[in-house]
Amino acid sequence: MWGYMGNHDWGWGGMGFGMVIFWALLIALIVALVRGVSSSGGGSPERREEKTALDILKERYARGEIGKDEFEQKKRDLGG
């Protein structure tokens, strides 16, 4: 008699629905955390700037992938 809470016979269906809600919320939380961590790793998207062709050319020259003559020629080709 003490364990009887009325005629709310949810049975396994109610428990199953509750588990679906629980897992959906847990997965949504994990996805939100992963997105938050991955987006904060490289700074805010507003502060990121796309590299120009000249920026990439300068980086290649700095790494030694191209020589000075090739750098100067490509720089002239780009109009920079």
Is position 75 within any domain? Answer: yes
Is position 31 within any domain? Answer: no
Is position 77 within any domain? Answer: yes
Looking at residue 28, its amino acid is: A
Is position 1 within any domain? Answer: no
Domain that residue 69 falls in = 51-80
| Whole-structure pTM value | 0.40
Is position 37 within any domain? Answer: no
First to last CA, the chain: 87
4-62 pLDDT, tens digit each: 555 555 566 667 788 889 999 999 999 999 988 877 655 555 556 788 999 999 999 99
- Name the residue among 75, 48, 77, 43 with its Cα closest to residue 59: 75
Q: Total structural domains in the chain?
A: 1
Distances (CA, A) of 5 to 2, 10, 16, 24, 56: 8, 12, 20, 28, 71
Is position 44 within any domain? Answer: no
